[in-house]
Structure 1
Amino acid sequence: MHADDAIRKRFHLTLLALAAILALLAWEHLNGGVASHHLLANPDLPAVSNWWGLLLVPLLAWSTVGQVQRRRARARVAPKFSPLAGFLCALAYGALLSALFAHGSAVVDYAFFGLLALALVVRLWHAEYLLGFVLGMAFVTGPILPAMFGALIALFSWLVQSAALAVWRKLRSRRGLA
């Protein structure tokens, strides 16, 4: 991809993410005001306004597109799983988790632990997963809390998979398979 095309694509996708968060904020503003959400849903803890999404979501989108472009430029072979597919899966998962949470479903606990299980085998530290998850959950919890939670899941995923890879390489080298 030509450098100008890459920047243009990055700019357009960032504008699309900005439009999505602006639409959410406009809807909230016209329906009782822009919401704030308490950390851990505890009123004793500070509340975070959804207005922060105007900063977070475009920055996350810009970063995500840049990371995907760099990964594609470094790749020797085509990826097994498209970044767009990863984004859409994370968007759907975030929307499902939000809907379950909003309706007070007991299934939300299983969906949460399912996300931890997914983190063991899927590279959830890739930015497209975080962006999709944040946008999927934004309509219920705003973008900030899912970004914080998603960042912890991404860190967990990276740590577990990096440790597993290190152990695997160590075992292979001891057996002379490397």
Structure 2
Amino acid sequence: MARILITGIVTISILGLLLWQYFHGEVPSHHILNRKDMPEISNWWGGLLLPLLTWLLLSKIENRVSKRDPLTPQVKNQNIKVWGLFLLGLIFGIVLAASFMNNYKPLLDNVFYIFLALSLIVPVYYPEFILGFVLAMTFTFGAILPTAFILIIAAFGFLLYRFIRPLILRVTKVVSK
């Protein structure tokens, strides 16, 4: 039920944004990598992608959370983690979008490194982080570019969190003995 409600809210929101943009000039298009020699992607595609992406990511979240026994106290903790990762993705997306809009170079020049460091601490490849990030950046960049960007980052994040992080933790445990 929550998946339908949230997807409906996202659908109405993105269609409202697109209609507002349409009736106030035009629906913007964005060049890949912000370079004029690269192809443009219209924000209209977000009207299709964002509801679909929301539905798929919420399905992944529900499947992962529902695998737990609902009577264990870990389920409440799991829900807090889901919301925490969603909010972290949302906040990071807002900060990144605001930095781009204000041309704040120190953050923009180091986004990839910040994501790599963050990937060692939290699983940025989880669907709730991805959804929060894409939703936060949709107003500034449309839905397509943030989705492509975060999927690349999520692939690196998966490798770092699942393989490099355990090695670092093991080495620090051995060194601390």
Shorter chain as denominator, the TM-score bin is 0.7 to 0.9
Is the contact between residue 87 and residue 132 of structure 1 (CA under 8 Å) also seen in structure 2?
A: yes
Is the contact between residue 87 and residue 132 of structure 2 (CA under 8 Å) also seen in structure 1?
A: yes
TM superposition shift of 1:166? 6.8
Residue 15 of structure 1 pairs with residue 37 of structure 2: no
Q: Find the counterpart in structure 1 of residue 149 from structure 2.
A: 149
Is the contact between residue 94 and residue 134 of structure 1 (CA under 8 Å) also seen in structure 2?
A: yes
1:1-150 equivalences in 2 (<5 Å): 8-75=1-68, 77-78=74-75, 79=78, 81-109=80-108, 112=111, 113-150=113-150
TM superposition shift of 1:82? 2.5
1:126-147 Cα shifts (integer Å, max 9, x gaps): 1111111111111111111010
State the SS of the aligned residue for 2:125: coil
Moved more, 141-150 or 103-112: 103-112
Instruction: Name the CA distance, whole Å, in 1 between partners of 2:166 and 2:133.
Output: 28
TM superposition shift of 1:108? 2.6
Structure 2 CA distance for partners of 1:111 and 1:88, relative to 1, 3 Å: farther
* RMSD (Å), alpha carbons: 2.4
- Structure 2 segments unaligned to the other structure (5+ residues): none
TM superposition shift of 1:16? 1.0
- Percent identity over the alignment is 34
State TM-score, norm by structure 2. Answer: 0.83
Instruction: Name the CA distance, whole Å, in 2 between partners of 1:104 and 1:22.
Output: 28
Q: Find the counterpart in structure 2 of residue 5 from structure 1.
A: none
State the SS of the aligned residue for 2:37: coil
Is the contact between residue 97 and residue 111 of structure 1 (CA under 8 Å) also seen in structure 2?
A: no
Amino acid in the other structure paired with 1:29: Y
Amino acid in the other structure paired with 1:68: I
- Structure 1 segments unaligned to the other structure (5+ residues): 1-7
Instruction: Name the CA distance, whole Å, in 1 between partners of 2:166 and 2:121.
Output: 15
Moved over 4 A (4+): 165-169
State TM-score, norm by structure 1. Answer: 0.82
Structure 2 CA distance for partners of 1:62 and 1:134, relative to 1, 3 Å: same
TM superposition shift of 1:104? 0.8
1:60-89 Cα shifts (integer Å, max 9, x gaps): 111121111111112353328431222122
Structure 2 CA distance for partners of 1:167 and 1:107, relative to 1, 3 Å: closer
